[in-house]
Structure 1
Amino acid sequence: MFGNDRDAMRRYYRQSWQKFQLKQPLDALEQQIAQVVAEHPEYHHLLADDERTLQHTYRPEEGRTNPFLHMGLHLGIREQAATNRPLGILALYQQLTNKFGVLEAEHRMMECLAQSLWQAQRNNTAPDEVAYLECLKKL
């Protein structure tokens, strides 16, 4: 949707959150984003109308989580569960959310997803769905 335009994607998060707060109509993606943002009050201040905050580069050496990556991983996991892609993830998602609650389950699942994506990028391959599902089964 945004290609590689990080700033446009971040502005869309801000726009979705602002529309939610103003009780304006939201499309399906805006609703999903607003839900994830609502679940992360620690990020609300980042979505204030400040371009400098949106343009910040989050580096691992800063010791801070990239809030947009974090929220994006939530959205990715929810999309995977909704479409059951990779096949079998819906059952794992349901088991984990029953065991830990939605947010905690997704936070645990993020580790597996991030690892899978990192490996794929490092190896210049598609993510290994089997390894990803195996990681989730260990949770």
Structure 2
Amino acid sequence: MLFGENRSDMREVFFSAWEKFHRGDHLEPAEQLVVDVLHRHPEYHRVVGDRDKADKDWTPEMGETNPFLHMGMHIALAEQVGMDRPAGIRQAYEKLAAGMGETHAAEHEMMECLGRTLWDAQQAGGQPDEAGYLECLQRLAQEKGGRVDD
């Protein structure tokens, strides 16, 4: 498991990768992915730069996005697209990114589908519905996407 089994372990992956990057140490592929996501989110540099301030909960009621959840969703999407699992996600991603003209913005759109799918699974006490997730992504790509040649 890339991120561990509890909140502290999951967050440690971000702290460690960021520290290694700043020291100029060799990064493993998973650490490089974390650093790449952090580069696209400079607003979270202060969070991963101070472990003490990062040991808190971020709730919608506070009006803040949980940076670790947000970055984790970017990483999950990168892994899903890289493996094309569920089958068809890569094509939906490419179509959406082409239509939006920017991969990062496309990922933010896709997070809505991912978040809804995870929420529904949690509420039902079951596994995420991959078919429903892919349908959501394909609808999104159809609505906001461009042309992708097969």
Counterpart position of 1:56: 56
The count of aligned residue pairs is 138
**Once the two structures are superposed, what CA deviation does each residue of 1:58-108 show, in whole Å capped at 9, x if it has no partner?**
122111100000000000001000001001111111111222211000000
What residue ranges of structure 1 are gaps of 5+ in the alignment?
A: none
Counterpart position of 1:77: 77
**Once the two structures are superposed, what CA deviation does each residue of 1:14-58 show, in whole Å capped at 9, x if it has no partner?**
11012112221000100000000011000001111x332221111
Deviates more, 1:2-11 or 1:108-117: 2-11
TM-score norm. by structure 1 comes to 0.93
Distance 1:123 1:26 in 2: 38
What residue ranges of structure 2 are gaps of 5+ in the alignment?
A: 141-150
Percent of counterpart pairs with the same letter? Answer: 43
RMSD, aligned CA:
1.2
Distance 1:83 1:73 in 2: 15
Counterpart position of 2:8: 7
Does residue 26 of the first structure (1) align with residue 23 of the second (2)?
Answer: no
Does residue 134 of the first structure (1) align with residue 135 of the second (2)?
Answer: yes
Distance 2:11 2:85 in 1: 25
TM-score norm. by structure 2 comes to 0.87
Counterpart position of 1:120: 121
